[in-house]
Chains A and B, each alone.
Chain A
Amino acid sequence: MNTSRQARLTPRYWVLAILIIGGVLLTACSGGSRESWAGVSKDANGEVVVVSFEKKVVAYNTDGSRKWTYEDSGDKAKFYAPALVTSDRVYVGDYSGRIHAINRDDGKRIWIYKPESRKFLGFSLGASDRILGPITQNGDSLYYGNEHGVYKLNIANDDPQKVWEFETDHSVWAQPLYVNDPELGEPTLFVASLDQHFYALNPEDGKPRWTVDLDGALVSHPVLDTENHRLYIGTLNYKLYALNFTDGKKVAEFKTEGWVWDTPLLMDSNLYFGDLSGWLYELPVTSDGFGEVWKTHLGDAALRAAPIVVDGVLVVASQNEKVYAINLEDKSRKWEKSVGAPAIAGLFSVEGPEGTLLIIGTKDKEKLLVALNLSDGEQSWSKKAEK
């Protein structure tokens, strides 16, 4: 008995115990299991809210009732990209690089596009080009980014075919921006990439018209200013740029306190955006570039999702679980509410049965989607992640 006790206490047992504990810690703490937050989106009319999270894509009516649930159990698809909700379809990319076309009314699958596997020296690498960004549609064409670049699909006759691909040096998480403006002469597809480059592509053949290096990763697409012929885009290098949309030349740049993740909101010649250090900005756009900024610090937590302006109220959601409503005119605080979960996944407004609702996507499975009344910030409904 003593021998076995002695053996248990030998340093080697301690070493093994430490290694096992270490292994458990590695598994638990490595961050490898964390993938992303939910993708949340709505249709153009604000009638349907769609949430893509893990194995399910779920559509809700604005009163919080579930419309349908879509799941691709056969291929064990996982969804994190915000869906594109059109008048009759929902298009969403998954974590295996596939595109799903879903009937907007009943959630039934229409088709799945499975890309060809990438190859190295003739050997298949498997389909692992994760799609994390939303899809853009123009007629029978879909444009989307993945880990290797941006792609165009022709979906005529519900027979999706790849038309071209444009390779980038890093992932494209941003939604491609299709612009058909007379000033541009011909339609252009703008693509922002984590490789720090901003590309203007010919949507027909995917060839670049121009490229600009912005010296910082680009996560979201720019906002278009047709009046000034500019694009505004934030970077993960403490900058927000104004670019001439015809040639990509930098018109102006603005130094921020933190990384700018989401697309700024352009309204009444003002840009509204937050940064990952918790600063909220109102930046006037002038003919020269930018005017004098108004900014406020809402804590150190990230303001990832772009703010919105509804009925003269500026609303912003924070990783610190709070949602702030600020009167646009005098910048006074209208209300401030906690949603009980990091509010980073998305923010938009819809018309609910009893007035305007703010829809907030969070990181918490127990409160994946929260609807607050714009008037007082009280919670109208919330939704857990479907199992």
Chain B
Amino acid sequence: MLDIIINPFITVLLVLYGLLGGNVFLAIVAFTILVRFALLPLTMKQQRSFKRMQELSPKLKQLQEKYKNDRERLTQEQMALYREHGVNPFAGCLPLLVQLPIFLSLWRAILATLASTPDQLLELQHRIMIGGLDHLVPLKNTFLWMNLALPDPFYILPILVVITTYLQQKLIMPVSSTSSSSGNDAADQAARMSKQMTTFMPLMFGFFALTYSSGLSIYFITSNIVGIIQYAMMGKADFRRLIGKESTKKEEKVIAEMPADEISDAVIEAPAAKPKPSTKTAAPVREPRTPKEPIEPGSVISATGRPLKPGISERKLTGSAAAASNVASSNGKSTKTPAKSSSRNRPKK
């Protein structure tokens, strides 16, 4: 069934192998990079979908609370919410579903072209789609100390697979994965899931690297490095997480951490405590806030951590200002609201 993808991949891999002077290592690296970049639109779409789902998470929670005794209504309301925001709940998974057979095929293509067993070599003739490549078969499978058709005897590649997979997971996981318990069940579940994936994925791929050919390990490592670079270029990778520091990207704070009962249709209620008049809180929106500046209870903090005008919290905030605001409540607990794309209602100075 996957042959429709595997066979073109095998052909491309052979072309690259021919172009790169018969170096199978370079061919696998180049091939992996090509495939990763070809899948970039899907990767970006997946990230956007996840983010939008996260943004809707508080509202979903709210609906669950509201219709906890009426399952049918709950489903209807959830679907209505999705429709209203133009979100497909499975849109984040669909790109992954599309990618999965592609990566499976990539894996199979590498194994097939290395043709380390008679069985694999026997099938190869019918998989090459362009004439004139047969003289390249089978690929020379030695590189440095490795027979690329066999697992690395020194375990160096499996270790690199584990490390790069972990790094990629750590860098791209949403902030919730590094947050502590927020008191929100859904957010906690998501955080636990993210942590599990950060642990599970490197181990799983490490196991594959130990079991299967070194050529696949090269694919994993290249794929992970390219993935990290891609996410960094998209501004999604936060390298501070590697040293255990909280993300500096406040706008990416997971909305699901906010208790649902504090959110009401994007209306942020003013805290009970009256904000202290302060030149700091009255400072222009674009002026950066000093790192050690205390957050006053009841003050409104912008997405970038800048304080807004004192009266702003009494207004009905919609759009990006409401979405990206952090409200320091009277008990000092910081909460966050979803970011929205519209900028029409951005608070003015």
Contact = CB atoms under 8 A, between A and B. Distances in A.
Is A bound to B?
A: yes
A269 B34 CA distance: 52
Interface string B218-259: 000000000000000000000000000000000000000000
Given A123-B154, A196-B135, A304 B122 contact: yes
A344 B153 CA distance: 32
Contact of B185 (A7, A12, A196, A215): A7
A22 B93 CA distance: 13
Given A10-B189, A13-B193, A18-B96, A35 B119 contact: yes
Nearest to A342: B122
Nearest to A22: B100
Given A11-B49, A261-B122, A302-B122, A215 B135 contact: yes
B204 to A, nearest CB: 5
A2 B74 CA distance: 10
Interface string A21-44: 111011101111011110000000
Interface in B179-196: 185-186, 189-190, 193-194, 196
B104 A29 contact: yes
Nearest to B141: A170
A11 B90 contact: yes
B211 interface: yes
B306 to A, nearest CB: 31
A352 interface: no
A121 B185 CA distance: 54
B134 A30 contact: no
A194 interface: yes
B331 interface: no
B125 A35 contact: no
Interface string B128-160: 000000110110110011010010011000000
Nearest to A133: B118
A156 interface: no
B82 interface: no
Given A26-B107, A37-B119, A170-B141, A18 B97 contact: yes
A128 interface: yes
Nearest to A14: B93
A16 B100 CA distance: 12
B111 A31 contact: yes
A259 B125 contact: yes
A265 interface: no
Contacts of B154: 123, 125
Contacts of A267: none
Interface size class of B (residues with CB under 8 A): 35 or more
A4 B192 CA distance: 13
Interface size class of A (residues with CB under 8 A): 35 or more
Given A35-B117, A125-B145, A11 B135 contact: no
Contacts of A3: 64, 185-186, 189
Nearest to B201: A19
B194 to A, nearest CB: 7
A304 B213 CA distance: 26
A6 B125 contact: no
A32 B135 contact: no
Contact of A126 (B90, B104, B120, B153): B153
Contacts of B103: 22
A307 interface: no
B177 to A, nearest CB: 10
Contacts of A195: 140
Contacts of A21: 100
A245 B126 CA distance: 32
Contacts of B74: 2
B190 A10 contact: yes
Nearest to B60: A6
A299 B140 CA distance: 31
A344 B118 CA distance: 11
A169 interface: yes
A340 B190 CA distance: 52
A216 B128 CA distance: 14
B276 interface: no
Contact of A10 (B104, B117, B186, B211): B186
B121 interface: yes
A25 B153 CA distance: 25
Interface of A: 2-4, 6-7, 9-16, 18-19, 21-23, 25-27, 29-32, 34-37, 80, 120-121, 123-126, 128, 132, 147, 169-170, 173, 194-196, 215-217, 219, 236-238, 258-259, 261, 276-277, 302, 304, 319, 344, 363
Interface of B: 2, 49-50, 53, 60-61, 64, 68, 74, 89-90, 92-93, 96-97, 100, 103-104, 107-108, 111-112, 117-122, 125-126, 134-135, 137-138, 140-141, 144-145, 147, 150, 153-154, 185-186, 189-190, 193-194, 196-197, 200-201, 204, 208, 211-213
Given A11-B92, A34-B120, 5 more contacts: A7-B189, A15-B92, A18-B97, A30-B108, A219-B118
